[in-house]
Amino acid sequence: MINSLVTVPSGILQIPSSVLDPLHFSLIVPTYNESGNIEKIIKILTGILDQQFPDNYELIIVDDDSKDLTWQIAYSLMPEYPHLRVMRRTEEQGLSTAVIRGWQAANGDILGVIDGDLQHPPEVLVNLLLGISQGADLSVASRHVEGGGVSDWSLARRILSRGAQMLGLVILPRVIGRVSDPMSGYFMVRRSSIAQKTLNPLGYKILIEVLGRGDIETIAEVGYTFQERQQGESKVTWRQYQEYIFHLLRLRFSTGRLGRIRRKIDFPFGRFVNFALVGLSGVVIDMGILYLLHGVAHLGLTRSAVLAGELAIINNFLWNDLWTFGDISRAQRSPSQIFKRFSKFNIICLMGLIIKVLILNFFFNFFHLNAYLANFLAILIVTVWNFWLNLKLSWRVTQINK
């Protein structure tokens, strides 16, 4: 077979440091439902790159199995464009991973990305590449430097975009602060700067991941005007904003000084946050049931409290089993295994309750703390205790071969 689709790389998102037959440049075009743009953008990009690097580049379309068959249009153009390659992803989805999967399959020493909807002016490519050839590790097209801008954005959209950037500066100043347009999805980077790094992006903003985890010393910026879309529509929804914030937080806690401290402590913070949230839901249930049984149905206080407590424990167990430790429990799902986990969880929680009362008394009687503050501290300590024991005993990874 002469023409075939590019095999989709799987496993961790890591770019190899070298390839068998290197090329100078690989440009990834991530697409989802861009049938109205794909032919035009391939034509224009090929025109530019044929001049820049004759026979020394590749153009890789990474399409997430678009309903409008973007990948098929690109595929049918391959005979006409010898440097065009097409990847069709059917399992994984999402802009950031599309770009990285494309880079993983790429042969270029320089790896680039451009949107597939012509909102990134193709001619800017030449300036971006110039930045790299002059020594930059990363060359970013920016709306916020000389010569840059947006076309016809409403005030609301400008504020949202700048707000997102400011939030980024607060959460991750040393990454976001390095470029004027950290939201840009139009840039190129040297393979050597990101090879062998385990990338773990979320959502739309792949540049943040490259800046956060890559070895980037010098950066070039090139102004460009973000064009209006002529064909198709944007895929951005509120979900992308939410993912952006989670992405920032994840980078904050896994890179730099905080990341080093965290690795030393070796505490599963992510799981703990889930566990604590589940705990909070348990408090709500406990209070609600107590109110129903004692306040409404006039059952005795102790009896109501015990029932409410137990229902909260069951609630917490179910959410923890499904969510906090879902990855572990999915591999151990026979009824006897579930029952075992539940029994252990129950016992640990009851012990926790006793410890909580002891700690509360200790803080209250010896340190003369305010009763509510003492109670709060006791809850905090017991939550960590509950979490740690359940991690080690209830959701232990037992079925994994050594």
Interface residue with ligand GDD, options 94, 122, 168, 201 (CB under 6 A) = 94
235 makes contact, choosing from ligand GDD, Mn ion, none, with CB < 5 to 8 Å by partner type, with ligand GDD
Residue 30 binds ligand GDD, judged by CB under 6 A: yes
Interface residue with ligand GDD, options 26, 31, 274, 304 (CB under 6 A) = 31
Beta strands 108-113 and 187-190 are antiparallel
Half-sphere exposure of 10 (CA within 13 A, CB side): 5
Q: Which span (166-174, 229-237, 278-286, 296-304) binds ligand GDD, by CB under 6 A?
A: 229-237
Q: In what order do the strands lie in the sheet with 187-190?
A: 84-88, 57-63, 23-31, 108-113, 187-190, 138-142, 219-223
> Distance from CA of residue 320 to its chain's centroid?
22
90 makes contact, choosing from Mn ion, ligand GDD, none, with CB < 5 to 8 Å by partner type, with none
CA distance 189 to 113: 9
3-state secondary structure of 223: strand
Residue 244 binds ligand GDD, judged by CB under 6 A: no
Question: Residues binding Mn ion: what is the number (CB under 5 A)?
Answer: 2
Beta strands 149-150 and 84-88 are unpaired
Q: Which residue is nearest to ligand GDD (CB)?
A: 185
CB of 169 to Mn ion, least distance (A): 24
Per-residue DSSP letter, 9: P
Interface residue with ligand GDD, options 58, 117, 209, 286 (CB under 6 A) = 117
Interface residue with ligand GDD, options 183, 189, 293, 349 (CB under 6 A) = 183
Question: Residues binding ligand GDD: what is the number (CB under 6 A)?
Answer: 25
CA distance 145 to 395: 51
Measured at the alpha carbon of residue 218, what is the angle toward residues 208 and 111, in degrees to the nearest 5? 60
94 makes contact, choosing from ligand GDD, Mn ion, none, with CB < 5 to 8 Å by partner type, with ligand GDD
**Which residues contact residue 142 at a Cβ distance below 8 angstroms, ignoring those fewer than 6 apart?**
148, 179, 180, 181, 184, 221, 222, 223, 224
Site residues for ligand GDD, window 44-83 (CB under 6 A)? Answer: 62-64
Q: To 10 degrees, the CA torsion angle through 305, 308, 313, 315?
A: -170
Interaction pattern, residues 51-70, with Mn ion; x per rule: CB under 5 A? --------------------
> Of 202 and 328, which has the nearer Cβ to ligand GDD?
202
**Which residues contact residue 314 at a Cβ distance below 8 angstroms, ignoring those fewer than 6 apart?**
none
> Of 17 and 234, which has the nearer Cβ to ligand GDD?
234
CA distance 216 to 135: 11
CA distance 296 to 308: 14
> Of 98 and 293, which has the nearer Cβ to ligand GDD?
98
> Of 205 and 341, which has the nearer Cβ to ligand GDD?
205
CB of 229 to Mn ion, least distance (A): 6
30 makes contact, choosing from Mn ion, ligand GDD, none, with CB < 5 to 8 Å by partner type, with ligand GDD
List, as one string, the DSSP characters of 180-193: S-TT---EEEEHHH
CB of 103 to ligand GDD, least distance (A): 13
Residue 254 binds ligand GDD, judged by CB under 6 A: no
Element (H, E) at 27: strand 23-31
3-state secondary structure of 359: helix
CB of 89 to ligand GDD, least distance (A): 7
Interaction pattern, residues 102-121, with Mn ion; x per rule: CB under 5 A? ---------------x-x--
> Of 226 and 275, which has the nearer Cβ to ligand GDD?
226
Interface residue with ligand GDD, options 27, 38, 95, 308 (CB under 6 A) = 95
In this structure, the number of other CB atoms found within 10 A of the CB of residue 193 comes to 18
CB of 66 to ligand GDD, least distance (A): 8
Q: List the one residue out of 56, 61, 62, 48 whose CA is nearest residue 108.
A: 56
Enumerate binding residues for ligand GDD (CB under 6 A). 30-32, 34, 62-64, 93-95, 98, 115-117, 119, 183-186, 204-205, 226, 234-236
Enumerate binding residues for Mn ion (CB under 5 A). 117, 119
